Each structure stands twice: as C-alpha cells, then as structure tokens.
C-alpha cells in the first residue's frame, strides 16, 4: 500500500484557498477547507524562506549522509531509519466564470519529504522527524518548508498497565469515521502538543493538550488589540474501550478559541462508537455537544454535531456512506465512497467519493487512481469536481475542476 502524504497545491489568484489533500486518502475534503483561507500548515513568512532553504539543504545533506554512510561510529546513537519521498505534482486548475481575469492553467510543484525515526540510547525514547519541502518549478528552488512532524514518545509497562507518553508536533486526530469526527475539536493538520495514554486490557484513558499557533489567529487578534493570547489551546480527556465486536469512547475537550482569536472558549462533550456485525457490515456514530459560556458580549451558546455512517465490505472493496450534521452552520452533508485501499496486492488503488451538502446543494466529486505495481515509483491521478448550487459554500471556491497528476518516488 503506498503511503499518502500531505501535499499542498496553491490555487493562485484572488481569495484562493489551499487545497489540502489529507495524509489519509480516506478523509474527504471538509467544507471548511474549501471555504476559508488556509494557513493551517504553518508555512513560515516569506522573509524566513531563504534561511529555511539553507536549513533544509543542510538537513537533506545530513540525512543523505546518514543514509549512505556504511557503518556508524562506535560512539553514535542507534542509526535512524530514514525515508525519503520525492514527488512532482502537475495540476490543472479550471476557474469558474466568477473569476474571468484568471485563466485556466497548469502548475507544477515538487515536494520533497524526509522522515527520520529511531530510538535514543537511554530510557527507550523514540523520535520521529518529518520535514516537507516544496518547490515551484516556475519560480524559485524552494517555495516553502515546514517541520511536519517532530515526535518523542515512550511506552512503559507497569503492573499490567501500559503507558504511552508522547510530546511534539503531531496529528492528534482520532475517530472512527471516514470523514471528520465531530468529537475531534481541532482542524486538520499537525500541532504542537503532548498526550498521555493508559491502556489496560480493553480499556483506555487518554489525556492530551495541543496548541494551534495558527497564523490566521495572530492576524485576527492584532486589529482589535485583543488581550487574549494568540493561538488556540485545546485539551482533551478520552476514556473508552472495545468489546466483542464494537468499541466506544467518551470525549471531553476544551478549546480556548474555537474558531478564531475572537471566539470565546468552549467545552465539548462527545461520544464515539462503532460496531462490526461480522457479516461485512459495520456501523459507526459520533455525537458532540459544544457549550460556549456566556461572556460580556454574547450569551451562552450550544451546538450539536453528529455523524452516523456505515460501511460494507465486498471482497476487496469497501462501500462507505455517512451523514454529517453541524448545527452551527445548519449543514447536513451526505458522504459516500467506494474504494479498495485495503487490498494490499491490488495493482491499481482506486477510490471514488462524493460529498453532497444537503442544506445548500453544493457537491464535490473525487476520483483517485494510483498504480502500485512498481516497487518505488507510484504515479497517481486525482480529479476533483466542485459543483452544485451557485449559492452553496462549495461553489464559492474559485476552482470548479482540479486535475492532479502526481509522480512519486520512494527513495
């Protein structure tokens, strides 16, 4: 199975969102990605790119040195495991009639990803470092660089209980659904944080905290001279377990800024569950109650988000159907998908998915096709079509058709 990594395609012109294809191809594009300017990848300001370009180059050289060096010195740590991926992405963007001044065009972007992982010599702490660097073929060598992942973790067993300690920058997402889980409070992406997990037999307790130092939050805080700290702090407490053919989890979370620096804190209480009927059919559900306390400016508010879905396995194919309801935007969305991502020996990995916003009629369709027969080279094609009612949020995207051809090499 080829690995899916985050790739960023910049849609140029106007108020253009970044189309962020999730690391897991099984997660469809959420509506928020299509509607809002996206800075959640944490790319640095332009003035720092030059320095980061040098840093990236040095890290690449260091990584390649470790990779090709025949044997480590006796005093060195255990040799890290290195993974490199180089992709060239050709994207064709077709703009809607609302943007007549922007011509349909083709972009080409190179993405280089390096991941190093290993163990420290003492205390059995493991580390993982992931760096992603992009280059626009038409402009400069490097157009962006980011530390995608920097993780330290260790597992301790004591008296029949297992404890997992994690700290660093990671994607903390949880859930059992194909699309976004309502109980997960943060947006997509990697965030700095820490998490403690305790498992015993079939039960678990998880406590975590993360901070989203979103550039967007800082920009919005400045004009009104808000005294609140820029950056959202999210904390969560999860407790659950799994039974014979089902599982459940209660989630309590706190968000200091739910949407932006001006949004007051809110508390969430949620529940996730899934069940396998052992005949090919499995169902899952999730509900989240959000409460925003009363402030000087606004009254308290409550919100309910829920998701119900199911999947049916037919040989190597999986058919998924979900309904997601978000009370704050009064959106009810229907998501369906068919794919063969779990078929390890399939020559072609393919997937078709669609999201239909039942509230405003907006739709998008996605076709994904990847050739996996070669050992280290994986060409793939992705087609995204945004359609539906003109007043829909999906239709507010300046792009109505996006075709991407990716040539990915694993080094």
Judged by CB under 8 A, which stretch of 92-100, 278-286, 331-339, 387-395 contacts other proteins? 278-286
126-145 CB burial, b ≥16 within 10 A, e <16: ebbbbbbbbbeeeeeebbbb
Q: Which two tokens stand for residue 65?
A: 């040195």
Number of H helices, E strands in the chain: 3, 20
Q: Which two tokens stand for residue 32?
A: 């928020």
Judged by CB under 8 A, which stretch of 314-322, 327-335, 358-366, 382-390 contacts other proteins? 314-322
Selected from 34, 89, 135, 206, the binder of other proteins by CB under 8 A is 206
- Cβ atoms within 10 Å of 346's Cβ, excluding its own: 16
- State yes or no: residue 237 binds other proteins (CB under 8 A): no
- State yes or no: residue 239 binds other proteins (CB under 8 A): no
Cβ atoms of 13 and 161 within 8 Å: the answer is no
> Which run of H or of E encompasses 66?
helix 49-68
Q: Smallest gap, in angstroms, from Cβ of residue 319 to other proteins? A: 11
Binding to other proteins, residues 342-361 (CB under 8 A): 342-345, 347
- Cα separation, 213 vs 254, in Å, equals 16
- Cα separation, 195 vs 167, in Å, equals 6
- State yes or no: residue 162 binds other proteins (CB under 8 A): yes
The residues pairing with 9 across neighbouring beta strands, listed in sequence order, are 19
- State yes or no: residue 193 binds other proteins (CB under 8 A): no
Lay out the site mask for other proteins across 94-133 (x = CB under 8 A, - = otherwise).
Answer: -------------------------x----x-x-------
Sorted by sequence, the CB contacts under 8 Å of residue 51 that are 6+ apart come out as none
- State yes or no: residue 82 binds other proteins (CB under 8 A): no
- State yes or no: residue 409 binds other proteins (CB under 8 A): no
DSSP string, 198-233: EEETTEEEEEEEEEE--HHHHHHHTTTT--SPSSEE
- State yes or no: residue 173 binds other proteins (CB under 8 A): yes
Cβ atoms of 55 and 37 within 8 Å: the answer is no
- State yes or no: residue 49 binds other proteins (CB under 8 A): no
Judged by CB under 8 A, which stretch of 37-45, 279-287, 351-359, 392-400 contacts other proteins? 279-287
Nearer to other proteins, 21 or 363 (CB): 21
Nearer to other proteins, 137 or 410 (CB): 410
Nearer to other proteins, 198 or 218 (CB): 198
Angle in degrees, CA 153, 158, 161, rounded to 5 = 85
Q: Smallest gap, in angstroms, from Cβ of residue 318 to other proteins? A: 8
Name the phi and psi angles at 215, rounded to 5: -60, -30
Q: Smallest gap, in angstroms, from Cβ of residue 246 to other proteins? A: 8
Judged by CB under 8 A, which stretch of 251-259, 285-293, 323-331, 336-344 contacts other proteins? 336-344
Judged by CB under 8 A, which stretch of 57-65, 198-206, 217-225, 253-261 contacts other proteins? 198-206
- State yes or no: residue 45 binds other proteins (CB under 8 A): no
- Cβ atoms within 10 Å of 158's Cβ, excluding its own: 8
- Cα separation, 172 vs 174, in Å, equals 7
Kindly list the residues in this chain that would bind other proteins in the complex (CB under 8 A): 1-5, 23-26, 119, 124, 126, 153, 155, 157, 160, 162, 164, 170-176, 197, 199, 201-202, 204, 206, 242, 244-247, 274, 276, 278-282, 284, 311, 313, 315-316, 318, 341-345, 347, 372-373, 375-376, 378, 410
């Amino acid at each position: 199975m080829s690995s899916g990594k985050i790739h960023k395609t910049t849609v140029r012109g106007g108020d253009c969102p970044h189309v962020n294809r999730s690391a897991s191809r099984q997660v469809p594009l959420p509506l928020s990605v299509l509607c809002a300017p996206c800075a959640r990848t944490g790319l640095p300001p332009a003035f720092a790119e030059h320095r980061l370009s040098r840093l990236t180059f040095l890290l690449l050289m260091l990584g390649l040195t470790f990779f090709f060096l025949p044997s480590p010195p006796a005093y060195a740590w255990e040799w890290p495991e290195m993974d490199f991926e180089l992709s060239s992405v050709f994207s064709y963007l077709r703009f809607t009639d609302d943007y007549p001044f922007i011509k349909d065009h083709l972009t080409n972007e190179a993405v280089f990803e390096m991941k190093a992982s290993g163990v420290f010599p003492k205390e059995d702490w493991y580390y993982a470092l992931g760096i992603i660097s992009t280059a626009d073929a038409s402009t400069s060598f490097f157009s962006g660089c980011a530390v995608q992942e920097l993780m330290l973790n260790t597992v301790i067993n004591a008296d029949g209980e297992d404890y997992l300690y994690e700290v660093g920058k990671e994607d903390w997402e949880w859930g059992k659904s194909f699309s976004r889980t309502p109980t997960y409070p943060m947006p997509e992406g990697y965030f700095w944080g820490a998490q403690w997990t305790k498992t015993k037999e079939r039960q678990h307790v998880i406590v975590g905290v993360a901070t989203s130092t979103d550039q967007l939050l800082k920009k919005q805080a400045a004009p009104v001279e808000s005294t609140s700290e820029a950056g959202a702090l999210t904390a969560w407490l999860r407790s659950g377990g799994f039974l014979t053919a089902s599982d459940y989890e209660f989630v309590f979370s706190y968000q200091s800024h739910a949407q932006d620096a001006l949004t007051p804190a809110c508390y969430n209480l949620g529940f996730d569950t899934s069940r396998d009927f052992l005949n090919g059919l499995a169902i899952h559900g999730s509900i989240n109650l959000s409460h925003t306390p009363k402030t000087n400016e606004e009254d308290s508010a409550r919100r309910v988000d829920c998701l119900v879905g199911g999947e049916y396995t037919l040989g190597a194919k999986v058919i998924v159907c979900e309904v997601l309801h978000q009370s704050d935007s009064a959106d009810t969305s229907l998501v369906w998908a068919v794919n063969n991502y779990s078929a390890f020996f399939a020559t072609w990995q393919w997937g078709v998915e669609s999201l239909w916003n039942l509230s405003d009629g907006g739709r998008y369709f996605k076709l994904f096709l990847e050739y996996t027969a070669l050992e280290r080279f994986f060409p793939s094609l992705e087609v995204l079509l945004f359609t539906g009612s003109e007043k829909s949020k999906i239709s507010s995207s300046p792009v109505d058709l996006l075709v991407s051809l990716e040539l990915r090499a694993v080094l």
